[in-house]
Amino acid sequence: MRILLVGEYSRLHNSLKEGLTALGHEVCLISTGDYFKKFPADILLKRKFNQGISKKAKVGFYKVFKKDFTSLNILKQFFSYKEELKNFDVVQLINETPLGIQPEEEKKAVDFLKKHNENIFLLSCGTDVSSVSFALKNKLKYSIFTPLQEKKVSEEKYSAALKYTQPEFKKHHHYLYDNIIKGVIASDMDYHIPLKNNPKYLGLIENPVNVEKIKFSSFQQTEKICIFLGINRSNYFLKGIDFFEKALAEIQLKYPTKVEIIKAENLPYQEYIKSYEKADILLDQVYSFDQGYNALEAMAAGKVVFTGAEKEFLKYYDLQENQICINALSDMDDLIEKLAELIENPEKIRKISSQARKFVEEKHHYIQVAQKYLKAWKAT
State CA 303 to chain mean position distance: 18
The Cα 219–Cα 353 span in angstroms is 7
CB 325 within 8 A of CB 356: yes
Residues 46 and 188 reside in one and the same domain? yes
Supply the pLDDT for residue 63: 46
Instruction: Give residue-wise pLDDT tens across range 170-180.
Output: 999 999 999 99
Helix (H) / strand (E) element for 251: namely helix 241-254
CB 225 within 8 A of CB 257: no
Residues 292 and 260 reside in one and the same domain? yes
Please give the backbone phi and psi of residue 290, each rounded to the nearest 5 degrees, phi first. Answer: -145, 175
The Cα 35–Cα 51 span in angstroms is 13
Residue of 303, 256, 295, 297 whose CA lies nearest to 279: 303
Q: Tell me the pLDDT of the chain averaged across its residues.
A: 91
Q: Residue 38 — left, alpha, or beta (φ > 0 → left; ψ -120 to 50 → alpha)?
A: left
Percent of the chain past pLDDT 70, that is, above it, reads 94
How many residues are listed for the chain in this entry? Answer: 380
Instruction: Give residue-wise pLDDT tens across range 24-49.
Output: 999 999 999 877 678 899 999 998 65
Residue of 73, 353, 322 whose CA lies nearest to 218: 353
Residues 232 and 359 reside in one and the same domain? yes
What confidence category does residue 156 fall into, taking pLDDT thresholds of 50, 70 and 90? confident
Cα torsion for 6, 108, 76, 116, to the nearest 10°? 60
Supply the pLDDT for residue 64: 40
Residues 195 and 243 reside in one and the same domain? no
Supply the pLDDT for residue 36: 66
Residues 6 and 24 reside in one and the same domain? yes
Residue of 311, 314, 324 whose CA lies nearest to 360: 324
The Cα 62–Cα 217 span in angstroms is 49
Instruction: Give residue-wise pLDDT tens across range 198-214.
Output: 999 999 999 999 999 99
Residues 314 and 285 reside in one and the same domain? yes
Residues 74 and 140 reside in one and the same domain? yes
Supply the pLDDT for residue 235: 80
Instruction: Give residue-wise pLDDT tens across range 323-335.
Output: 999 999 999 999 9
Domain count, the chain: 2
Residues 91 and 130 reside in one and the same domain? yes
Residues 85 and 16 reside in one and the same domain? yes
The Cα 240–Cα 284 span in angstroms is 9
Residues 166 and 225 reside in one and the same domain? no
Supply the pLDDT for residue 50: 60
Q: What is the CATH number of the domain that holds 306?
A: 3.40.50.2000
Q: What is the DSSP letter of 95?
A: S
The sign one gets for the Cα dihedral 290, 294, 298, 303 is negative
pLDDT over 60 at 57, yes or no: no
Range of the domain at 137: 2-208+365-379
Residues 350 and 221 reside in one and the same domain? yes
Residues 281 and 294 reside in one and the same domain? yes
Give the Cα-Cα-Cα angle 106, 107, 113 (nearest 5 degrees): 90
pTM here?
0.90
State CA 193 to chain mean position distance: 16
